[in-house]
Structure formats: structure tokens, C-alpha cells
Structure 1
Amino acid sequence: MRSDEPRTELEEERDFLLRSLEDLESEHAAGDLGDDDYRALEEDYTARAAAVLRRLQHLDSGDPPSPRKDGDAVSSRRVEAGGRRRRAGWPMLLGILATVALAAGSGYLVTQSSGERRPDQGVSGGPESSPRSLLQQAIDLDNGGKLVDAAKLYDAVLAEEPENVIALTRRGWVLGRSGRQASSPELLQAGLGYLDRATKVDPSYADAHAFKGLVLGALGRPGEAGCEFRLWLSIAPITDPLRQDIEGVLDEATKQAGGTLPECPKPPVPVPVPAAPTSTTP
């Protein structure tokens, strides 16, 4: 896929893959698809959908896309012509966001935060044992599926920087993913604790709200989950390629909550970076 490929082709690929994921869920629920085949196909379609979403994000940001990997895209011949955009359901979005968050290289979360730094955060770089370097090592392990080793490094980062919002978010999401896969409320609750801390440290960090909403949803708390998705929508860029899917999951959370959400927190107001002092030399 070329970096100048029209947006419409990327959107068609995204729609095809999301439809395919929905079909997989239906076939698996009906007993027409075995567990092993379902997991293998779900992982494949989810990874490819995430790759397309990343390319759409690169188009919006103007950054060059990551190098293509085999299997990242589907042929346009496989795209259903004239198909209406179908929003991803809760389980599907969970898988897609997990894959996007664990993208190779800097990772989705690092990409989202790399251009902004709070006044109390240091500049990137330093020796291999620096929190920044440990965080990247943790992300690499996370990407490779070595969740236990990644969690240890996230903990090492947090021991040095207890308010590192990326480490808090990713540590919580490791637990959230593990809890969902194991159907463990205890792991989900532990992950929620980290995500709670992340949203308190930096309420304007959109991804922490998305993951917190997904964990709350898995815990059967759709009203609170909906509030987190609403916060994400108020914070994330209007051009974010996941916006429509988050809107869809917000709709689903609202339905599961009985048609209305509880009183949600107000969107955070970004804290301005203090201006450099001016010289008073006469």
C-alpha cells in the first residue's frame, strides 16, 4: 500500500475488516467456527484493521506511515462495494484498540503523547536505565506478548516516576487485557486502579479514558464506561480515525445503562505551560 493511497481505499479496507470481524463473532456464537480458528482469524483481522487505522491516522497528522508488513492490507477486490459503514461493537473495539496501542516502534500511546510534555516531565533520552528507555523496552516486550516482563519494567518506570501517565496507562491496560482474556474481575479491577491514577495525573490524556472505559465495560459498569468514552470524544482530535468507533461504543454503553448515563465529569481544561521569565535587565 502506497503512502499516497486515497483515503477512500483505506476507509473501504477498514470497513471490510470490521465487517469481517462482526461476521466472525456471529459465526463463532452460532457454533459454525471453532475456538482455535476463531482466535486465529480474529487476531489476523484485528491486526490488519489496526494497521489501516494507523495509516488513516498518519494521513490526518501528515506523518509518513510505518513500513508495510505482509498481511497489513487486503486487496480492494475483497472489499464489498457500496457497503455502509458499520460501527465496531464493544468486543471488537477492545481488540482493535489493544492492537493499535501495541503498535510496533514507539507505540500508539507514545505517538499520541510525543508532541506534548507537561512542565514537570523531562526531555526524552538518557542512558539505557533511564525511565524513558525502560518505558520503551517495556513497550517492546508488550508488543511481543511478553506481558509479565513488560509489567516488571512498567513497575520499574513507576518506581522512578510514579506519575508517568504512559506507564500508568499501559500497566493498567496490560492488566485489563489479561483480565478480559482470563475472565478475571480481580485482574480487571487491578487494571482499573492504574487507569484511575492515570486519569487523575493527566485528565487530558485521551487514551487513558478509552482504556478505562473498556475495562469498566468488561466489569459490567456501562454507565461509568460511557462517561469515559464521552470524555475521550471531548479530548481526542476531531480527525482521530477511532472517533466513529468510540461513538458507537458510547451508544452501546448508553443502551446497556438503560438509555441514560449518570452525571459525567466535565471535560478537563488543559493546564497551560508557564511562559519563560522575561529579562528584567535595565
Structure 2
Amino acid sequence: MARRIDLDAIARLEEERDYLLDSIRDLDRERDAGDVDEEDYEELRRGYVARAAAAIEALEEHTDELAQRQAAARPALSRRLAWIGGCLVFGVVAAVLLINASASRVGDESLTGNTASPGAGARRCMTLSMSEPQEGIACYDELLADAPDNVTYLTYQGWAFARTDRPEEAMERFDRVVELDPTFPDVWVFIASVRADTGDFAGAQEAIDALMALDPSPAVRNTLASQGLERKIALGLLGPDAAACWEQTETAGTQLGEATSSAGDGSAGDSPDGDALAKAATTLADAVKCFEGELDAHRDNAQFLTLRSFTLGLLATIDNELAAATLPTALASADEALVIDPQDPTALLLRATWNMWLGDYDASLADLDALGDREISPLVSPYVGAAEIRAEVTRQASASGG
């Protein structure tokens, strides 16, 4: 029998991680203000960093298991919108992720796993750029004196500048790297992160697009997913009011996942928890109300319309009566998004899903063919996948003799 995922333990570890990272930042500010002597600062910071690393490692063990359960559950739950139930964990900041990653790299390996000129000095600089960024800057100055055009040195010194709240100096290094080698994936991750942190979400998305055009390695993609950078950018592009609507949808998604997981393996004989479903339905109704309140202001925003479509469709998963009331509007919202952008991949996938539910299998398959292997919105991709929907369309069409 599978061990139950301890969501309370995940929450505790997240709280501990956030507390320790905040403590490190507070300690750095106290040192900069002269409120703590250097010896005490070094001792306290080492302790905080060690405890934070331990909390993050424990959290990753839980979330890795949760992700495996989610992936295994997708086929069984495909009849409920290829739903991935459970708790979606985002938010480990890039610096901490890269500290962990750099600890397991050899020599001068970058985030991508590519290797520049190996050496203990370069490895030391990379570690410092993550854990002691001010020292990392000085360390890379020494290396750059001998190799001024080394893209790895410039990139990770730039990240050290970013971590010391000096985004302009960071971007100077990143821009130089792009001049030297625009195919170096690491730099685009950091450009996207710095631009997002400074509120330039359109520029951050451009950096993500440039990164994806390079077909980055799984290590880079996993870093993006783990830190939630694409989600942050997508929400930033929406604007705060519309983003608040979507966050209600995400909350309802977690509640639906909990209701579904409590039913067992998703087989026909299992019934979701009624109270949990009612709670999710209430949250989704609030999310729908929020989207409707923002609709006039976002009529020309394809992303907004697809997220509204998804929210309405998710509400339709609760029961048949709700499906009859909301599914036509969900389909219409996807149609509106495709009027604005006829090739929007997320809208195509959602329209294929709603048409499947309505029994129009030819229309559903046509949209899936138009979608191809393109990536959908990072906000929607945790919940619905093209492969699962195609398999379900094929199954339903075969069962109906269509």
C-alpha cells in the first residue's frame, strides 16, 4: 500500500525554509548596517545556511514523491480533465536552487551541465556567487582578469550582482554574454529572473522565449519549473487583478486534488469526498465571479480568456448539472481567445477538451492536430496535457462507434 503524502509535513518544511531564508536576508542587512560583528555574522549565517539546505533537501524528497504520484495519477484521472491532484509546490528561489545544484556539479559546470575551463578556482567562485554573492563578485573579477570573455564567469558574476540588489550591473554582464554567445542557456534564465524581479514581465517572457528556442536541457527546464519563474512571469503579464482570479482557481485545484486523492485510485467505484468537493465548488464559484468581474477589461487578452475558460471547465468537473451550465461558456471563452490568436496553444487544447466532453470528437482531434507538440501556458500545464486528452478522445470515440 502506497504511503500517504504528508501535506502537513510539506507545509512545515516550506515554513521553515522561508523563515531561514528570511533570517539570512535579515542577517545580511544587519551586517550591512553594522549591527552585528563579522565573527558573529559568519557563525550565524553558516548555521542558517546549513539548516536551510537541510530543510530544502527534506522538502525536495517530499515534493519529488508527490510529483511521482501526480504523474502516475494522470491516466487514472484523465476523465476529470487529466487532473493532477494534490499540492503544487512552487517558490524555492533561484539562488537556493542553484546553491544545491552547484554543490553537485564538477569543476566549472554551469546550470546546463556544460563545462567551461575546469578548475577549483572557478568552482569556488560559482559556490560563492550563490552563497556569498559579494565575495563571488570579487572572485570572478580575478578570473575575468585572465579570461574577460568567458561567458560562464560573466553570467554567474552577473547573478551575484543580481543577488546583491544591483540589477543594472547584472544586466551589463548578461548583455555582454548575449553579445558573445546568445546560445548560452544559463544567461537567459537569469535575464528572465532579473527582469521579472524588476517588473519587466514582457521582457522576462522574451528571455524565456529565447531560452526555449535553444531547446534547453532538462536541467534548465527543471530549474524553471521548480522555482516557478514561468508562472511568476505569466501572472505578472496578467496584471494583479486578473492574477488574483487565477490564484483562486489554483486554490480550488488543490482542493479538487485533495478530494480526488481521498477517493483512492480514481476507479469507478471510488467517490470523491463530498465535503471537499463542495469546498472546491465554492472556491471555483468565487473564481468564476472574479473572472466575470474582470472580463470587460480583458476582452482582448487571449491569456485571460483561456484562464477563464479553464476555470469554467474545472467547475464543470464537479457534477453534470454544473457541466451543463458552465461548459458552453467555457467553450465560448476558448473560441474568443482563438479569435484573438488563432494559434494559441492553450486555447486549442482547452477547446479540444470541451469538444470532447460535448461529443464532437472530430473537432477535438482537429484542434489537437493544430496544437502539435507546442507548449501550453505554464499556468494551465500542471492540470491538463495534450497526450492524455488525445488518448481520452480516442477512447471515447471508439466506445461510441465514432
The aligned residue for residue 196 of structure 2 is 217
Aligned length in residues: 202
The aligned residue for residue 232 of structure 2 is 252
Aligned positions of 1:56-135 closer than 5 A? 84=86, 86-89=88-91, 92-100=92-100, 102-103=102-103, 106=106, 109-110=109-110, 112-114=112-114, 124=117, 132=119, 134-135=121-122
Assess, with a 3 A threshold, how the Cα gap between structure 1 residues 46 and 147 changes in structure 2: closer, same or farther: same
User: What is the alpha-carbon distance in structure 2 between the residues aligned to residue 147 and residue 103 of structure 1?
Assistant: 15
User: What is the alpha-carbon distance in structure 2 between the residues aligned to residue 17 and residue 189 of structure 1?
Assistant: 39
RMSD: 4.7
1:204 equivalent among 158, 180, 183: 183
User: What is the alpha-carbon distance in structure 1 between the residues aligned to residue 11 and residue 52 of structure 2?
Assistant: 11
Instruction: With a CA cutoff of 8 Å and minimum separation of 6, indicate the structure with the bigger relative contact order.
Output: 1
User: What is the alpha-carbon distance in structure 2 between the residues aligned to residue 100 and residue 197 of structure 1?
Assistant: 26
Q: How many Å apart are 1:86 and its aligned residue? A: 1.3
What is the identity, as a one-letter code, of the residue corresponding to 1:88?
F
In the alignment, structure 2 segments of 5+ residues that lack a partner are 27-44, 71-84, 240-300, 303-402
Paired residues of 1:172 and 1:192 also in contact (CA < 8 A): yes
Q: Residues 119-172 of structure 1: CA distance to partner in whole angstroms, max 9, x if unpaired?
A: xxxxx46xxxxxx554234235446x4433332231122222221011001100
TM-score, scaled to structure 1: 0.53
TM-score, scaled to structure 2: 0.39
User: What is the alpha-carbon distance in structure 2 between the residues aligned to residue 153 and residue 140 of structure 1?
Assistant: 10
Aligned positions of 1:38-57 closer than 5 A? 47-48=53-54
Assess, with a 3 A threshold, how the Cα gap between structure 1 residues 205 and 250 changes in structure 2: closer, same or farther: same
Task: Specify the SS of the correspondent of 1:241.
Answer: helix
In terms of fraction of residues, the more helix-rich structure is: 2
Paired residues of 1:176 and 1:191 also in contact (CA < 8 A): yes
The aligned residue for residue 135 of structure 2 is 149
Q: Residues 69-117 of structure 1: CA distance to partner in whole angstroms, max 9, x if unpaired?
A: xx797589x979876251524xx333443424542553785363545x6
Paired residues of 1:20 and 1:45 also in contact (CA < 8 A): no
The aligned residue for residue 169 of structure 2 is 190
Paired residues of 1:172 and 1:191 also in contact (CA < 8 A): yes
The aligned residue for residue 168 of structure 1 is 154
User: What is the alpha-carbon distance in structure 2 between the residues aligned to residue 162 and residue 188 of structure 1?
Assistant: 20
User: What is the alpha-carbon distance in structure 1 between the residues aligned to residue 238 and residue 192 of structure 2?
Assistant: 17
User: What is the alpha-carbon distance in structure 2 between the residues aligned to residue 34 and residue 172 of structure 1?
Assistant: 21
Identical-residue share of aligned pairs (%):
18
User: What is the alpha-carbon distance in structure 2 between the residues aligned to residue 164 and residue 74 of structure 1?
Assistant: 35
What is the identity, as a one-letter code, of the residue corresponding to 1:188?
P
